[in-house]
Structure 1
Amino acid sequence: MKIKIYFRIIGLSVLFVLQSCEDFVDIDSPNFQMVTEDVYNKEKTTIAAIQGIYNQLYVANFSTYGVSVLGAMSADILLARTDTYLPFDQHELFSINTTDAGFNQNIWSSAYNMIYMVNRALEGLENANISDDLRQNLQGQILFTRAFTYFYLTNLYGDVPLLLTSDYDTNAIAPRNSKEEVWLQIESDLDEAAALLNKQTEYKDGERFYVNLSVVEAFRARVYLYRKDWSNAESFSSNVIARADLYGLEANPEDVFRANSKEAIWQITPDGVRNFAPEEATHFTLHVNGTGTTITGNTALSDDFLNSLVPLDKRRLWIGEVSSENEHSYFSKKYWFDNDGEIQQYSTVLRLAEQYLIRAEARAMQNKLAEAISDLDQIRARAGIDLITDSNPGINKQALLDTIMIARKRELFAEWGHRWFDLKRTGKVNTVFSSNPTWQNSDALYPIPGEERLKNPFLTQNDGYGN
């Protein structure tokens, strides 16, 4: 069965680009030379085509749904309330012929649809009939998007095909590249994106869903943290934190995820769906049915996570609770449905709190303990809990690192796979899930979708999922 990705169309030029993406999945050797020439022949249609990529990033299965929801389910914060999501909760994924295999297939295929769109756009921009300044700016934005997508692919699957052109025949039989090769390409794309964006830190029309230099530097800080390059992680997070005219921690946690909040570095939302709540609200929110007898919804927060938050922690504002006649449950309400039908929030991908936590960890790793404590206390102060400076100023390095990891869990829960990836990058994933009788060390990576392997015989499988 073919998996098709359906798109919201915002204009004829975007239709051309998005149609090419769908054809990449379903049709042999597509030829879009004429279409591409038409799209990139004018400034207006060129910009619309790039906007189409932003829109698709929001609705793609790998992003807000695949990473934020299923990635959070794989960690130790969310619990599955339905059989549909239980395989991610219990780390019992299959590569083919099951519901979870379908979800996994959608993550993979939508990510590679995005890669195809990005590569096609980069090729189109090379000879686009636009000014050099605009060309470079758009190229920077698109290169960032490719790095962003590969970041999630390699963190979910490990070794993955590294596709850098839109050549269908080559891509269709591409083998997996090593994680190291993928990471090096991510760094290269981000370096080039930063150079092309050329010190641009403002946001077009004040909307924080356009990629600028701050977005690139914030993501570079995260990449260097994962790569254990502590000096660069500190440096790039410092660049972003220093832009106090643009960014600041919101005093009220309920304001953090609002559209264009001062804490937001990068948010995503498509033009065509601003009358809906962000995708996360759909999957995280619990409801009580009309008779008050049953709670409906896919996920719930674990008791262990709830108990980790002290009663006065302001981050409890990000937790909702519902009661029926037979049940009481808690859920993530960082995002909510607006009763007036007008969206007040954007899906927040990068925010300032993460940059403080990145810098705190990077500084602690370099034995800059006082500076690391200062960064961590920024987050604790906003949460309204005791400061390390007051309660334990002599804390040792390992204890401080453990405290920072707890802070990441409490601050970034149910956001973009942070907890799942943190457990893996710090080598703690096997310890945390050792009590789960179904856990195997190989469960740290998702299976390569079986449907993709049927189409491409050169794709090997991850350990633990058979041949």
Structure 2
Amino acid sequence: MKYPTRNYYSQLLMVLTMTLGLSLAACKKLIEIPPNPPDKISAEGVYSSDKNALGALVGLYANFNTGTYLSSINGGTLSVFTGLSADELMNTVSTPAVDETFGNSMRTDNGIAAEMWTTGYRGIYQTNAFLEGIADNPKLSESFKRQGRGEALLTRALYYFNLVNVFGKIPMVKTTDYRVNGVMPRSTVDEIYTFIISDLTESITLLTDAYPTAGRVRPNINAARALLSRVYLYKGQWKDASDMAGLVIGAGIYELVEPNGVFIDGSKEAIWQVLTLNLWGQTSEADALFPRNPSDVPQYLITEDLENALDENAAGLTDKRKLQWMGINSVAGVDYLYPAKYKNTDATVTPMEDYMIFRIGEQYLIRAEALAQQNLLDAARTDLNKIRERAGLNGTTAVTKDEVLAAIARERRVELFAEWGHRWFDLKRTGKANAVLAPLKPGWEATDALYPVPLTETKTNTFLDQNPGYN
């Protein structure tokens, strides 16, 4: 089978990024878009053929990696700002919104919370529009509709997963009808998770083992399984989580690679990675976290707490992740440690980097935790040790169930730092946010674990109630 090339998708995505940026720039509140805004592309034209509809499908991923970290909740915003809210990152450039995020003192008009909400629902709107456009469409082949629906359901599930873990209760938007969406109340967290599981379960029935492109820049069945295994872990469905992660690991096409090779284009660790969409060849995380000059003070630093955790976890050895995933800029005699999983800030730099959505390293940690919760400790240690050995460390010395779970939690912290909000979400799902963050964050309150529903949204839709702790 002849697949479209990386260059084809890269060019298509760059065009779509510019087009979507123009067409959606004026849409501050996605859920109140009128049915036929003047800048809306004709659905009849977009969904008139497989080729045209492919543009709409690939366009769903345009917001994931534009190279600007404030572009989308799924495009760097989550990694950076939940890292500040947790104990991973600290900022060196002061703005009210960023300071509030780091200090867990957000106001309802905080622009970062508003950006996450707005871009999340913008992505959901685009995904719903695609699903409506291909449904029962006689101009499209059945194979395209099957693949397209599977990818779109996965994409929608990812948006909802991130939104529900940031805000708690959220509206469950399933349509593009602004009359319905504009007065929609918030659904419970359990209702949202049920919807996510439904989307992912159907996605798995539609996607196949084969990737639809020459690389892994569009998802296959294992991408949907990867997110579903994470959902089951968060829900405490341990057997389901270990089984689903086991299917991904058992596919036999993913490998743990050297830390420096994890995030590059064509990484064997990638389950799903999205192309870089800008002239500079940089990912959204590189835009935020990697300083362009060695004489610059990085905008976001690794906290001393995270550095100490990494060193303690290494037990006297040198962790490859510290050497290869963290960088140091020495400025005026002061060393500044910053996240450096993504390093490219120039399109001429090789190897190229793609934006990692899901990777096999996380699946080993998911399975390890789920197995430990089922008292399958030997199997859990085996999975945990694969991650430690890749980092150049000795195997775990944990023996009891509590010790193994604690070791896995430590490993998740140092393996998944500054990626997709993992640390922030882990602290909350395990009930440890108060114990961990209260000593580090003056003024921390339990209600800080949820971001505020943006003031602009509660003013527009009076059916939206506010999270506790926010006026």
For normalisation by structure 2, the TM-score amounts to 0.89
Deviations 1:205-264 (A, max 9, x none): 3321201101001111000000000001001100111122x20100x2100111120001
Match of 2:302 in 1: 301
Alignment partner for residue 191 of structure 1, among 177, 201, 204?
201
Find the aligned partners of 1:17 and 1:338 in 2 and give their Cα distance.
22
Find the aligned partners of 2:465 and 2:227 in 1 and give their Cα distance.
29
Range 13-22 or range 39-48, more displaced: 13-22
Deviations 1:144-177 (A, max 9, x none): 1111100000000000000101101111111111
Quote the RMSD (CA, aligned, Å): 2.3
Alignment partner for residue 240 of structure 1, among 248, 257, 262?
248
Alignment partner for residue 324 of structure 1, among 309, 321, 331?
331
Match of 1:226 in 2: 234
Alignment partner for residue 454 of structure 1, among 446, 459, 464?
459
Q: Residue 103 of structure 2 aligns to which amino acid in structure 1?
A: Q
The answer to whether the Cα contact below 8 Å between 1:24 and 1:168 also exists between their aligned partners in 2 is no
Find the aligned partners of 1:366 and 1:22 in 2 and give their Cα distance.
50
Alignment partner for residue 204 of structure 1, among 193, 196, 212?
212
The answer to whether the Cα contact below 8 Å between 1:118 and 1:146 also exists between their aligned partners in 2 is yes
Alignment partner for residue 437 of structure 2, among 422, 433, 436?
433
* SS of match in other structure, 1:204: coil
Match of 2:130 in 1: 121
The answer to whether the Cα contact below 8 Å between 1:11 and 1:48 also exists between their aligned partners in 2 is no
Match of 2:75 in 1: 64
The answer to whether the Cα contact below 8 Å between 1:357 and 1:404 also exists between their aligned partners in 2 is yes
Alignment pair present for 1:265 and 2:243 = no
Match of 2:153 in 1: 143
Find the aligned partners of 1:348 and 1:123 in 2 and give their Cα distance.
28
Find the aligned partners of 1:399 and 1:12 in 2 and give their Cα distance.
49
The answer to whether the Cα contact below 8 Å between 1:20 and 1:30 also exists between their aligned partners in 2 is no
Match of 1:348 in 2: 356
How has the CA–CA distance of structure 1 residues 9 and 206 changed in structure 2, closer, same or farther, with 3 Å as cutoff?
closer
Per-residue deviation at 1:437?
2.1
The answer to whether the Cα contact below 8 Å between 2:273 and 2:358 also exists between their aligned partners in 1 is yes
Per-residue deviation at 1:126?
0.7
How has the CA–CA distance of structure 1 residues 247 and 61 changed in structure 2, closer, same or farther, with 3 Å as cutoff?
same
Q: Residue 263 of structure 2 aligns to which amino acid in structure 1?
A: F
The answer to whether the Cα contact below 8 Å between 1:21 and 1:117 also exists between their aligned partners in 2 is no
The answer to whether the Cα contact below 8 Å between 2:17 and 2:62 also exists between their aligned partners in 1 is no
Find the aligned partners of 2:60 and 2:405 in 1 and give their Cα distance.
38
How has the CA–CA distance of structure 1 residues 86 and 360 changed in structure 2, closer, same or farther, with 3 Å as cutoff?
same
Q: Residue 420 of structure 1 aligns to which amino acid in structure 2?
A: W
Per-residue deviation at 1:447?
0.3
Deviations 1:85-123 (A, max 9, x none): 222111011111xxxx11211111111011111111111
Find the aligned partners of 2:345 and 2:460 in 1 and give their Cα distance.
43
Find the aligned partners of 1:139 and 1:240 in 2 and give their Cα distance.
21
Find the aligned partners of 1:28 and 1:137 in 2 and give their Cα distance.
27
Per-residue deviation at 1:386?
1.0
Find the aligned partners of 1:439 and 1:183 in 2 and give their Cα distance.
27
The answer to whether the Cα contact below 8 Å between 1:356 and 1:376 also exists between their aligned partners in 2 is yes
Match of 1:93 in 2: 106
Per-residue deviation at 1:301?
0.4
Q: Show structure 1 runs of 5+ residues with no match.
A: 1-7
How has the CA–CA distance of structure 1 residues 204 and 442 changed in structure 2, closer, same or farther, with 3 Å as cutoff?
same
Per-residue deviation at 1:23?
4.7
The answer to whether the Cα contact below 8 Å between 1:39 and 1:49 also exists between their aligned partners in 2 is yes
* SS of match in other structure, 2:213: helix
Find the aligned partners of 2:223 and 2:346 in 1 and give their Cα distance.
31
Per-residue deviation at 1:190?
0.3
Per-residue deviation at 1:337?
2.2
Q: Residue 219 of structure 1 aligns to which amino acid in structure 2?
A: L
Per-residue deviation at 1:371?
0.4
Per-residue deviation at 1:42?
1.2
* SS of match in other structure, 2:357: strand
- Sequence identity of aligned pairs in percent? 34
Q: Show structure 2 runs of 5+ residues with no match.
A: 1-11
Matches within 5 A, 1:247-396: 247-250=254-257, 252-269=258-275, 272-273=277-278, 275-286=280-291, 295-308=296-309, 309=311, 310=314, 311-316=317-322, 317-337=324-344, 341-342=348-349, 344-388=352-396, 391-392=397-398, 395-396=399-400
Match of 1:4 in 2: none
Match of 1:131 in 2: 141
Range 451-460 or range 28-37, more displaced: 28-37
Match of 1:106 in 2: 115
Alignment pair present for 1:75 and 2:79 = no
Deviations 1:294-330 (A, max 9, x none): x433210012221222351111111101111152210
Q: Residue 407 of structure 1 aligns to which amino acid in structure 2?
A: E
Q: Residue 400 of structure 2 aligns to which amino acid in structure 1?
A: N
Q: Residue 111 of structure 1 aligns to which amino acid in structure 2?
A: G
Find the aligned partners of 1:262 and 1:9 in 2 and give their Cα distance.
23
Per-residue deviation at 1:83?
1.6
* SS of match in other structure, 2:265: coil
How has the CA–CA distance of structure 1 residues 285 and 342 changed in structure 2, closer, same or farther, with 3 Å as cutoff?
closer
The answer to whether the Cα contact below 8 Å between 1:65 and 1:280 also exists between their aligned partners in 2 is yes
The answer to whether the Cα contact below 8 Å between 1:17 and 1:49 also exists between their aligned partners in 2 is no
Find the aligned partners of 2:453 and 2:447 in 1 and give their Cα distance.
12
Match of 1:163 in 2: 173
Deviations 1:54-77 (A, max 9, x none): 112334421232211111111111
The answer to whether the Cα contact below 8 Å between 2:281 and 2:353 also exists between their aligned partners in 1 is no
Range 84-93 or range 344-353, more displaced: 84-93
